[in-house]
């Protein structure tokens, strides 16, 4: 039984060999992990003691135990969630870290990463600043193309995140973006709710700096 389970795990991971090659051709480091339990083990082996670390807002990070690791490990953690901190100062310090952790709203089978942000601190830090970036992405965030990535944000990620954050967006009450009713063919959102959490959109394809960004692709559903 043990060997059968191991065989099934190996075959499951092999299904994503082509995806790994595509992202690596775009100069991302792409690591396939069986479960969220493997994320912490990987990070412990790949982050040196005393490293300066920061995170973007992400349910996936919390589900994998990354926040707990950074708070309790031998790291300098600029914790945006700590009590009595200047969050804006934390955002600025995040640009000078050794490692920045986040998730993505979607990744595509063409080797692209899609992120949408309200404040903009996450897309800014992922793009430039921190020495290395880890994006923890569950298999539920894999889509075929950018059009599907947009739809995923409009109908899944944005509504659920708005509800989680208690923000009164159009999608939080309707379950989908108002753009789908006003401008269906435009990839960018022309419909703006007053309390939008979709202010900045980032699409990353081939990177000029090889392996600065590592995608930890987890074969479980994570986050929204």
For the chain, percent helix, then strand, then coil, each to nearest 5? 40, 20, 40
Q: Give the separation between CA 110 and CA 204, rounded to whole angstroms.
A: 11
Check residue 159 and give its pLDDT.
Answer: 82
Average pLDDT per run of 10 along the chain, which is 224 residues long? Answer: 42 79 98 97 97 96 97 97 94 97 97 94 96 98 95 88 82 76 57 77 96 98 95
Please give the Cα distance from 142 to 137 (Å, whole number): 8
Question: Quick one: pLDDT at residue 135?
Answer: 98
- Can you tell me whether residue 96 is helix, strand or coil? coil
pLDDT at 68: 96
Query: Residue 173 has what pLDDT?
Result: 77
Q: Is the pTM value of this prediction over 0.85?
A: yes
pLDDT of residue 176: 82
Instruction: Give the other-Cβ count within 10 Å of 68's Cβ.
Output: 12
Whole-number Å distance between alpha carbons of 105 and 116 = 7
């Amino acid at each position: 039984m043990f060997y059968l389970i191991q065989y099934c795990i190996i075959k499951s991971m092999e299904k994503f060999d082509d995806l790994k090659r595509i992202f690596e051709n775009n100069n991302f480091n792409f690591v396939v992990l069986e479960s969220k339990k493997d994320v912490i083990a990987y990070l412990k082996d790949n982050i040196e003691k005393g490293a300066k670390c920061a995170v973007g807002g992400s349910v996936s990070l919390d589900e994998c135990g990354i926040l707990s690791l950074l708070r309790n490990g031998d790291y300098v953690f600029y914790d945006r969630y700590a009590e009595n901190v200047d969050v804006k100062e934390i955002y600025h310090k995040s640009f000078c870290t050794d490692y920045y952790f986040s998730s993505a709203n979607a990744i595509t089978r063409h080797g692209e990463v899609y992120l949408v942000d309200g404040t903009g601190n996450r897309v800014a830090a992922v793009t430039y600043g921190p020495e290395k970036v880890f994006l923890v992405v569950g298999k539920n965030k894999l889509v075929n193309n950018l059009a599907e990535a947009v739809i995923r944000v409009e109908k899944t990620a944005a509504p659920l995140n708005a509800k989680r954050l208690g923000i009164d967006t159009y999608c939080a009450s309707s379950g989908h973006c108002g753009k789908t009713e006003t401008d269906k063919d435009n990839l960018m959102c022309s419909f703006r709710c007053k309390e939008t959490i979709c202010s900045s959109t980032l699409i990353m394809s081939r990177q000029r700096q090889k392996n600065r960004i590592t995608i930890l692709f987890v074969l479980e559903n994570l986050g929204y």
